[in-house]
Each structure stands twice: as structure tokens, then as C-alpha cells.
Amino acid sequence: MSEESFDAIIVGAGLAGCVAAYVLAKAGADVLVIERGNYAGSKNMTGGRLYAHSLESIIPGFAKEAPLERKVTKEKVTFLTDDTGVTLDYHNGREQTSVEESYTLLRGDFDQWLMAKAEEVGAQFITGIRVDEILTQDGKVIGVKADGDELLSKSVILAEGVNPVLAEQLGMVKPKVKADVMAVGVKELIELPQEVIQDRFNLNNDEGCAWLFAGSPANGLMGGGFIYTNKTSVSLGLVCGLHDIGTSSKTVPQMLEDFKNHSMIKPLIEGGKLLEYSAHVVPEAGIHMVPQLVGDGVLITGDAAGFCLNIGYTVRGMDLAIASGEAAAKAVLTARENNDFSAEGLSSYQSLLEDSFIMKDLKLYKNLPEFMGNPRIFNQYPKMVADIMQSMFTVDGSASQPLRKTIMKHCKEVGYMNLIKDGIKGVTSI
């Protein structure tokens, strides 16, 4: 057993882990990060949009040096059926402050950069090692076991992502997180020349587009599609809730294939070359799945703690992972000052989270997962909107109807009561 004892060992060099390491090392703490992949980011994927605010407050001006793809200035939301699409298109030409900005990125580059930032201020990283076990003594976490070696530490920060094998071992996360609060995300990275991307998505130089699709991409199940533009590629994928997957008429890979071949999407990626195919689970239950966050000598951050928000038009987990990594690091620094790494000594983590946007946003959207579970949102409404549009734009020589009547007719198909109920529920859950 190694005699040296770190102030903190961090499991996982994702965003939560790298940021925690950065904040700790910068304050002079002795910190080691252990990552099972061959480099930070080698096991990680995301849809691709980072809201800058949380990292901006930790590394001001980071966007000037980090490997980011494009700054998002165009937002699109499309209601998609198998053969139609109705789009809301928003172009933001206004000045934004650095905390309001958001960027598309690829994790392979970005995580390595973040890890290098943490190393610059003195954090130690080991890659290519899987942590197999958390060591405890009298119920207190005292280190980790990896590759047969035991490493001692005054605290352990679990930043292991959405599948928290180690937090489960400790009993902090219930091992059977139910499938009905999880979704699976799949993505293709498709290479296209820069000018082609800019033409097809109507973008100036460094501008980027974030485009979400509700409706048919997930075969009528809870979920939706996305396209994010990068410099010379687009990230195209979908997220699909797992609760009804058993009865789906399509497999998840088939959903992605059909989405790609949709008559609205196909021209956007025509001629593109597949660079990579990736997948990851997304935690969806919001505040309802947040586990025990602190134990004696241990803290849980990021996706492992369920800090992820699926608010329909966007999945947000990266800014939460970053902010929770910072909060965990600060709690360890407080514990270090008081030389008390017990659950009590680390409890400032909980209050830092309560005071931050993380818990406030998770609480604000607490009814959203249930609302999103409503199948009407993913199949009937996109069809209703498409039918209204079709009636509006079709002139075939038959006598025209007043627009009001046309709209009412299509609303009736969904049912007025359903519309009212869902409308009220929707408004109260966002």
C-alpha cells in the first residue's frame, strides 16, 4: 500500500473530474485524477453544446484558448413527422456577454485541453487505469484500488459519469436506477467541407447552429433529434427514452438511420463522410434521481449525481458537471482547512449546490420529466402542427375554409381537453 495520501483522488477525467482537479490544484491541494481511457475524453461523447457560463466563472476567457468548434448564433426547433417538418428559426445577431454564449464542441479535444489546464496548475493524472474499488475503513472512504494497487486519499470525488459503478458499490446510488428515468443517445459525426456547412446552414465564419427535432426521430417515443454544426463536421444524433423501448417497432440504430434519411435532413448531410459513431446513456429524471451526494470521505459529481437536465429543446449536463466539480473541490478545500473529511466536514458541498443554479434549475424543472413522458408530445402534436401547415399552404381549387376552422379541425383530432390539460401541465412544468 502506498504511504502517500492525497488530499483528493478523483475518479474520471470527464468535465466534472477535470474541473474539480483544476480548482483543487490551483488552491495548492495534492490531487490525483484516475481515468480508465487512454486520454481525457477518449470515453466521452456528448451532443455537443456547451453553455459557457459555468466554465467562464472558473477560467475567465477560456473560449479564446479552448478547442471549441463554433459559437451558436442560430437556434432551430423542428416538429418532425415521417414526411413533414415545421421549423421555428431564430437567428441571434445581438451582442452576447461571455457568460451568455454557448459553443459547439467535441469532447476528444476539449477534455484533453481541460485536463492539460489542470496539470498546468499541478494536478496529477493517470490515464489508462480503471478504478476497480473504493477502499473503506470503518465506513469511511480512505482511497481507491486500481490495477491491484491501493492508493490512499483523504477524500475521493466520484466523477465517473452516468453509469456510477463505484457509487453503487458504496450504496450511495441505488444500483437499479430504473430504466424509465434513462434515455440513450446516439450520434454520428459527419465530415463536410467548411464552406458546405456554412452554405447549407446559412452561417457566417465562426457561427454555429443548434437544431433540435421533436417528433418522429425517436419513433414516437420520448426523445428527439439534434444537429450541431462544428467547423468541418456536423454532430447528428438522437436521444430516446428507454421506458417503452421494448415495444418500439424500430431499433435505436434504425431510428437514427431513418432520421438521417428524412427528406428534410438528407440534403443537409449529402456527400458527408462518417467519422465516428458514438453512444451514451443520458440521465433524465432531474431532481428525482439525485442520490446521497456526500459520505464520509466521498462526494459525487456530474452525471454520476444525476445532474443533467433534459428540457425538451436541449439536453444540459456539461455546464452542471463543471459547476458541480467546482463545488466538490471547494468543499474538499474547506474540509482540508479544518482537517475534517467526514461527511459533516464535507457538507458544504450540499449547501454550495443548493445556492447554485444546479439545484435551482433541477427544482424548477422538477415536473418536466413526467410531462415529457406524455406520448402526445412526441407524436400527436408534431402531426397536428404539420396538418395545420399543410392546410394553410395547400391551394387545390376547392373552396377555401377560414383559417380558424382549419386550425380547430386539426386541434379536435388531438382532443380539446388533451390540449388544455397538456397546455396547463406544460406551462406549469417549465
Ligand X SMILES: Cc1cc2nc3c(=O)[nH]c(=O)nc-3n(C[C@H](O)[C@H](O)[C@H](O)COP(=O)(O)OP(=O)(O)OC[C@H]3O[C@@H](n4cnc5c(N)ncnc54)[C@H](O)[C@@H]3O)c2cc1C
Q: How far is the CB of 50 from ligand X (least distance, A)?
A: 6
User: Which residues make up the interface to ligand X (CB under 6 A)?
Assistant: 11-17, 34-37, 43-44, 46-50, 130-131, 159-161, 165-166, 185, 187, 237, 239, 280, 282, 302-303, 308, 315-319, 321
Q: How far is the CB of 276 from ligand X (least distance, A)?
A: 13
> Given the complex with another protein, which of 278 and 406 has the nearer CB atom?
278
Contacting another protein within 214-233 (CB under 8 A): 233
> Given the complex with ligand X, which of 102 and 380 has the nearer CB atom?
102
> Given the complex with another protein, which of 57 and 163 has the nearer CB atom?
163
Q: Is 19 a binder of another protein (CB under 8 A)?
A: no
* Residue 318: contacted member of another protein, ligand X, none (CB under 5 to 8 Å, by partner type): ligand X
Candidates 7, 56, 188, 207; binder of another protein (CB under 8 A) is 188
Q: What is the 3-state secondary structure (H, E, C) of the chain?
A: CCCCEECEEEECCCHHHHHHHHHHHHCCCCEEEEECCCCCCCCCCCCCEEECHHHHHHCCCHHHHCCCCCEEEEEEEEEECCCCEEEEEEECCCCCCCCCCEEECCHHHHHHHHHHHHHHCCCEEEECCCEEEEEEECCEEEEEEECCEEEEECCEEECCCCCCHHHHHCCCCCCCCCHHHEEEEEEEEEECCHHHHHHHCCCCCCEEEEEEEEEHHHCCCCEEEEEEECCCEEEEEEEEECCCHHHCCCCHHHHHHHHHCCCCCHHHHCCCEEEEEEEEEEECCHHHHCCCCEECCEEECHHHHCCCEECCCCEECHHHHHHHHHHHHHHHHHHHHHCCCCCCCCCHHHHHHHHCHHHHHHHHCCCHHHHHCCHHHCCHHHHHHHHHHHHHHCCCCCCCCCHHHHHHHHHHHHCHHHHHHHHHHHHHHC
Q: How far is the CB of 108 from another protein (least distance, A)?
A: 4
Q: Is 176 a binder of another protein (CB under 8 A)?
A: yes
Q: How far is the CB of 129 from another protein (least distance, A)?
A: 4
Over the window 94 to 133, marking each residue x when it contacts another protein by CB under 8 A and - when it does not, the resulting string is ------------xxxx-x----------------xxx---
Q: Is 430 a binder of another protein (CB under 8 A)?
A: no
| Sites of contact with another protein (CB under 8 A) | 36-38, 41-46, 82-83, 106-109, 111, 128-130, 146-147, 162-163, 165, 175-179, 182, 184-186, 188-189, 233, 242, 245-246, 248, 250-254, 256-258, 261-263, 274-281
